[in-house]
A and B are shown apart, each in its own frame.
Chain A
Amino acid sequence: MPNCKSVVPYRGTPEQEERLQQVIAQHKGQPGATMPVLQAAQEIFGYLPEEVQIMVAEGLEIPLSEVYGVASFYAQFTLNPKGKYQISVCLGTACYVKGAASLLSAVEQKLGIVPGAITPDGKFSLDSCRCVGACGLAPVMMINNDVYGRLTPDQVGPILDNYK
């Protein structure tokens, strides 16, 4: 998870914030409230930007560092929204053996972001995943629902250029 604030501006609506406040009110004062509230927050906003984590911290009266500690610990939480094109590089065993790590770094270099992050224009978000069930095609990268198999790092640039 990238250790930074999302580069995409926060666009939460008053309705979303109102829903979050209701969830916070339901859980406030209960032990272990942070997890369910963050899960609900991610459902409402799609991700957990700093603005939302501050609302959770203030609402539950716990330090922001504690909220962020939980949000950054679990892979299920994301600090960034998903891009128009969601890139997922498989790091499962077969893909990894076939060189997925260099594939991933090629994407990172091309877009200038690390897994978990999004490009400032909101176009691409990058994640790694564990096995998409296409081991015969290893190494595999997915962009939204498009599957690219048997890739080499030099193919990454031209493929990404096709997504406008």
Chain B
Amino acid sequence: MDSKMVSLHINDIPVTVPAGTTVLEAARSAGFNIPSLCFLKGINEIGACRICVVEVKGARSLVASCVYPVSEGMEVYTNTERVRKSRRLTLELILSNHRMDCLTCARNSHCELRQLASDMNIDAVRYANDDLPPQIEDSALHLVRDNSKCVLCRRCVAVCRKTQEVGVIGPNDRGFATHIGCAFDRDLNEVDCVSCGQCIVACPTGALQERDDTGKVLAALADPKKHVVVGPAPSIRVTLGECFGMPVGSNVEGKMVSALRRLGFDKVFDVDTAADFTIMEEGTEFLHRLENGGELPLITSCSPGWIRYMEQHAPDMLPYVSSCKSPQQMFGSLVKTYYAEKAGIDPEDIFVVSVMPCTAKKYEVKREEQRLPNGCMPVDISLTTRELGRMITQAGLLFDHLPDGQFDEMLGVSTGAATIFGASGGVMEAALRTVVEKLTGAGMAPLEYHEVRGMEGVKEASYELPGRTVRVCAASGLHNVKRVLDGVRSGKLHFDFIEFMACPGGCINGGGQPIQHADVRNFTDLKGLRAAALYAQDADMPYRRSHENPIVQTVYQDFLGEPGGHKAHDLLHCTYIKQQKYRTDS
């Protein structure tokens, strides 16, 4: 880090910032907001859209402040007539090529483009193009693209190529014909998209959105023959509040439960409970491999984005990946077997809805290998946090007025270990809490593993346990996952246990989470604040190790048998497969 400081004037106000700071950031530190569109800090820094232009004394032309570094003695003006005129014209030209069906657009009230138009006081669009038809591409299970709303900011492309290193989309053709698409303009379901949905949360407009499955859930809720069961993922309770304007990092578990009940779900269970089962199964699998010379490292299988990436891009890792279903799928599997049996309900009549931080979960619920021995698919519909937020609003529930509710107990008691699944490193820590105690004996093992916490892309740690050293790694964001895989393959990195999450920071930053505008993302530690709320909840939980969960103990005793046993394998495990990366046959 360059510690040299630079002094400059912004709108005649003296500012001192570290060298290398951009004009946009320096201005912000002096209390001036510069509007921007294509800029996503650390992800898309290309100075392409020209919305953030400012006047720099002595410069030949206006400069893009998002990429322009400060220099000593610089005099910057962020709000001159020249600057305002330029920004307005640029925005008007962008709007001339944007289909403005704002009233019926999914991003309606939280569109960055609409916000910019409002902030810049654009009261008429001089070059409006009324002849833009929708350009819907809805081949994928998880998202819908409408290029008629795309402003070519390339934020989705940058996140796909750099953050995720998957790179299935890019700018095709040129000039007026330029558009974002897959190679050969194939549909998204024909390419190696991992369904992570990071492009959706990066998009400033309504060009990208999740496939809306709320209608199917409402139909099930209205069907008297259906017994509709819902379960939210660990991270939902610390992000759902953002849909209702609450501060980032608000834990709204109680209100969320009440909202789900008032929406009419017959049972409100918790996917956290299933996460505890995941630890029992994955922990058992790890101990088994460790003690029997099995394939190591064991790699977690909770993130369906990672799984799809692995199946297409790294199939050589198949033997190392845990056979555990994800917590979502374990949840559905337990509802349609254990709960169905206990409640005396035909599993065919149970409709399971999960609420996930994730768009890849929409794809995962359709995966055939997830099917249960009784013929049922474990989960019927997987909603994102955003979809649940919309359902709550549409139902007229005043979220901040809701009382705190309690999960239904049969599958609604969980531990702190399950809570932290929502943050990168959380699955690893949860597993260590159980595994280390199994290896060292009760009361001998530490409870918290801070080495695997935090929002760094790759975290490594090793623990000295009786008779062996266990080396672990937690990586999130597929770019970081790829780095770890390369190291493991080349023999430079040695681990016994690896947690991979497709999304940077884990589920709290998933592609299904509430969308925050770039000016929030650029200047707020979104991931850190959301994760902190999970760790805070964990610290207050009565049970903090998965095997302490009384529900887990009951279900194994009464129903599943041993962790890793025959019945558990039938219901809670599956086989992942190699998948084609390119489809040239069609």
Residues on A facing B (Cβ under 8 Å): 1, 3-5, 50-51, 53-54, 62-69, 72-73, 79
Contacts and interface: CB of A to CB of B under 8 A. Distances in A.
A4 B184 contact: yes
Nearest to A1: B173
User: Which range holds the interface residue count of chain B?
Assistant: 10 to 19
Given A4-B184, A4-B185, A63-B161, A69 B170 contact: yes
B167 A53 contact: no
Nearest to B586: A5
Contacts, number: 54
B169 interface: yes
Given A3-B172, A4-B185, A73-B174, A63 B584 contact: no
A51 B584 contact: yes
A138 to B, nearest CB: 24
A53 B185 contact: no
B128 interface: no
Contacts of B170: 63, 65-66, 68-69
Given A4-B185, A50-B184, A68 B582 contact: no
A65 B182 contact: yes
B166 interface: yes
A54 B172 contact: no
A63 B167 contact: yes
B172 A68 contact: yes
Interface of B: 161, 166-174, 181-185, 191, 582, 584
Contact of A67 (B166, B169, B171, B183): B183
A60 to B, nearest CB: 12
Q: Which interface residue of A1, A54, A66, A69 has the most chain B CB atoms within 10 A?
A: A69
A54 B584 contact: yes
B173 A3 contact: yes
A65 B167 contact: yes
Contacts of B191: 64-65
B171 A5 contact: no
Nearest to A10: B584
A50 B173 contact: no
B167 A66 contact: yes
Contact of A68 (B166, B174, B183, B584): B183
Contacts of A65: 167-170, 182-183, 191
B173 A72 contact: yes
B428 to A, nearest CB: 29
Nearest to A2: B185
B44 to A, nearest CB: 15
Contact of A50 (B161, B174, B181, B584): B584
B156 to A, nearest CB: 11
B481 to A, nearest CB: 16
7 contacts: A1-B173, A3-B181, A5-B184, A50-B184, A51-B584, A63-B183, A65-B191
A79 B584 CA distance: 15
Contacts of B173: 1, 3, 72-73
Contacts of B171: 69, 73
Nearest to A53: B183
A4 B168 CA distance: 16
Contacts of B181: 3
Contacts of A4: 184-185
Contacts of A1: 173
B146 to A, nearest CB: 17
A129 B384 CA distance: 50
Nearest to A70: B170
A9 B401 CA distance: 64
B172 A64 contact: no
Nearest to B172: A72
Contacts of B166: 63
B184 A68 contact: yes
A106 to B, nearest CB: 22
Contacts of B182: 65
A48 B559 CA distance: 59
Shortest Cβ-Cβ A-B pairs, 9 listed: A63-B167, A68-B183, A65-B170, A3-B185, A69-B170, A64-B183, A65-B183, A73-B174, A72-B172
Contacts of B185: 3-4
A52 B156 CA distance: 26
A77 B545 CA distance: 60
Q: Which interface residue of B184, B185, B191, B584 has the most chain A CB atoms within 10 A?
A: B184
Contacts of A53: 183-184
Contacts of B167: 62-66
Given A53-B183, A66-B170, 15 more contacts: A50-B183, A53-B184, A62-B167, A63-B166, A63-B170, A64-B183, A64-B191, A65-B182, A65-B183, A66-B161, A66-B167, A67-B183, A69-B170, A73-B173, A79-B184
